[in-house]
């Protein structure tokens, strides 16, 4: 998720709630893009896409490789959480900088320390 975010410039909630049905093939260029709808809500109904316009997400090779690794894991969400909420609804990762992410980042940093 972090590599996708860094390589596309997407905001945190755009990445966390990215959906497969937003993906659009561009056969003339041999690639795909994501079109995040203007009405997308981020953490709250008032938040969402900046300027309330549709957002075109063009992917470089790194972002494309992240997407290809996610393909087939979930029918709706690109980055699913894996566990339904208390009411059985499908969920997504809520935040990219919570305690679990911080622990993972520390663990990854230890691997690369000299």
Instruction: Tell me the C-alpha distance between 95 and 52, whole Å.
Output: 21
Q: What is the mean pLDDT of the chain?
A: 82
Q: Which domain holds residue 8?
A: 2-112
* Cα end-to-end span (Å), the chain: 25
Tokens of 75: 């029918």
Work out the percent of the chain whose per-residue pLDDT is above 70: 68
Element (H, E) at 49: none
Q: Is the pLDDT of residue 44 over 60?
A: no
Q: What are 30-42's pLDDT values in tens digits?
A: 999 999 998 876 5
pTM: 0.74
Instruction: Tell me the C-alpha distance between 87 and 59, whole Å.
Output: 35
**Domains: count for the chain:** 1
């Amino acid at each position: 998720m972090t590599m996708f975010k860094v390589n596309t410039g997407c905001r945190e909630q755009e990445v966390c709630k990215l959906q497969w049905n937003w993906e659009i093939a561009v056969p003339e260029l041999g690639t795909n893009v994501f079109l995040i709808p203007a009405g997308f809500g981020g953490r709250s109904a008032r938040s969402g896409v900046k300027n309330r316009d549709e957002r075109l997400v063009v992917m470089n090779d790194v972002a494309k490789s992240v997407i290809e690794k996610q393909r087939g894991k979930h029918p709706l969400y690109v980055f699913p959480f894996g566990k339904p909420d208390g009411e059985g609804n499908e969920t997504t990762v809520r935040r990219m900088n919570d305690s679990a992410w911080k622990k993972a980042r520390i663990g990854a940093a230890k691997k690369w320390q000299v």
